[in-house]
Amino acid sequence: MLSLERGPPGPHHEHERTWRSALRFVIALPFVWLIVFFLLPFALVLGIAFGTNAPDSAPPVELGLSLKNFALLFTDDLYVAAWLSSLRIAGTATVAALLLGYPMAYAIARASSRRRPLLLMLVILPFWTSFLIRVYAWMGLLAENGILNQFLRWTGLASDPGTILGTEWAVQLGIVYAYLPFMVLPLYASLEKLDTSLLEAAADLGAKPFAAFLTVTLPLSLPGIVAGCLLVFIPAVGEFVIPDLLGGTDTLMIGKVLWDEFFTNSDWPLASAVAICLLVLLVGPIVLFQRQQAKSLERQ
């Protein structure tokens, strides 16, 4: 048996060695990718965040170890307000997406196995069109002379409807629309797994349908709820495109502030500090999400 483990090198061992180095290469590839395209840029941003603004040089940064940018973020009302309003908008949109997505996921999970693939396809279908184009399409829907208002005037439901575009409502609507699939899919996954005999057992033991839902379906779909909410909340907090296109000048979101600092004010260090803070703020929910995913994997 020993000779098998460390026998003389032969063609078999040659083969194994090539195979192993190939394996190592395959494993290394994503790490190289992450280092080049995530870790290096991140280090760059982190470095810039501690620098000072130098509008006359190119790039407009003077490296250093200044905490001025971070101090500004926590003292200037504008930034604090932008933080809070980002959290609030993302939070409300997440709740709205949950209330809308749960019945959808439930219906898909309970649909006949023949119709389920079609319904799931419909949820994923919007991804076939670019995100940006879909948000532009909402501008056309919600504008003052947009399709929605034209429809309202034509049917006579409202002769002088207000304009949704440019308000926080439009931003909420956009976020819910854009991120709904990310809510529906994990919810569907956890509802589809649910053993229907558990619901029969609940009914058998005297639970009315709604009580059975509250005591069995809801707690057992909790992993899906947490996953869906985090998948919507995390990107929504830092969202830039939706508030920029659908929101108005008074819709404050941190992603938009970052963009303005970088492109409009050319203040690279301040924009970098915003980016770092955004990342730190979202590390909490991301860790929560990953721990919850690991836990539900473990339970299986």
Partner 1 sequence: MKDTSIVRIEGLTKRFGAVAAVNGVDLVIERGELFALLGGSGCGKTTLLRLLAGFEMPDAGRVVIDGQDMTGVPPHRRPVNMMFQSYALFPHMDVTENVGYGLRREGLPKAEIAARVAEALEQVRLSDYAARRPAQLSGGQRQRVALARALVKRPKLLLLDEPLAALDRKLREGTRFELVRLQEELGLTFVMVTHDQEEAMSMASRLAVMDLGRVVQVGTPHEVYERPCSRFVADFIGIANILPLGGGRRWLALRPEKIALCGARPDTAHAVAGRIVDAAYEGDRSLYRVAVDDGSVLSVSIANVARTAEPFRRGQSVWLGWAADAGHELEE
Question: Which bin fits 206, alpha (ψ -120 to 50), beta or left (φ > 0)?
Answer: left
**62 membership: H or E segment, kind and range:** strand 61-62
Distance CA 81, CA 188 (A): 36
Backbone dihedral angles phi then psi of residue 53, each to the nearest 5 degrees: -75, 130
State the nearest-atom distance from the C-beta of 187 to partner 1, in Å: 17
Q: Whose Cβ is closer to partner 1: residue 205's or residue 287's?
A: 205
State the nearest-atom distance from the C-beta of 201 to partner 1, in Å: 4
Distance CA 142, CA 165 (A): 5
Q: Whose Cβ is closer to partner 1: residue 66's or residue 293's?
A: 293
Q: Whose Cβ is closer to partner 1: residue 139's or residue 220's?
A: 220
Residues that bind partner 1 (CB under 8 A): 195, 197-198, 200-209, 211-212, 215-216, 219-220
State the nearest-atom distance from the C-beta of 207 to partner 1, in Å: 5
Q: Whose Cβ is closer to partner 1: residue 99's or residue 198's?
A: 198
State the nearest-atom distance from the C-beta of 70 to partner 1, in Å: 43
Distance CA 41, CA 45 (A): 6
Taking a C-beta distance cutoff of 8 angstroms, is the pair 187, 225 a contact? yes
Pairing type for strands 61-62 and 52-53 reads antiparallel
State the nearest-atom distance from the C-beta of 109 to partner 1, in Å: 17
Q: Whose Cβ is closer to partner 1: residue 36's or residue 201's?
A: 201
Distance CA 49, CA 297 (A): 38
Q: Whose Cβ is closer to partner 1: residue 124's or residue 198's?
A: 198
DSSP 73-142: HHHSHHHHHHHHHHHHHHHHHHHHHHHHHHHHHHHHHHS-TTTHHHHHHHHHGGGGS-HHHHHHHHHHHH
Distance CA 38, CA 48 (A): 15
**Residue 15, both tokens:** 């083969």
State the nearest-atom distance from the C-beta of 220 to partner 1, in Å: 6
Q: Whose Cβ is closer to partner 1: residue 266's or residue 292's?
A: 292
What letter would DSSP give residue 179? H
State the nearest-atom distance from the C-beta of 216 to partner 1, in Å: 6
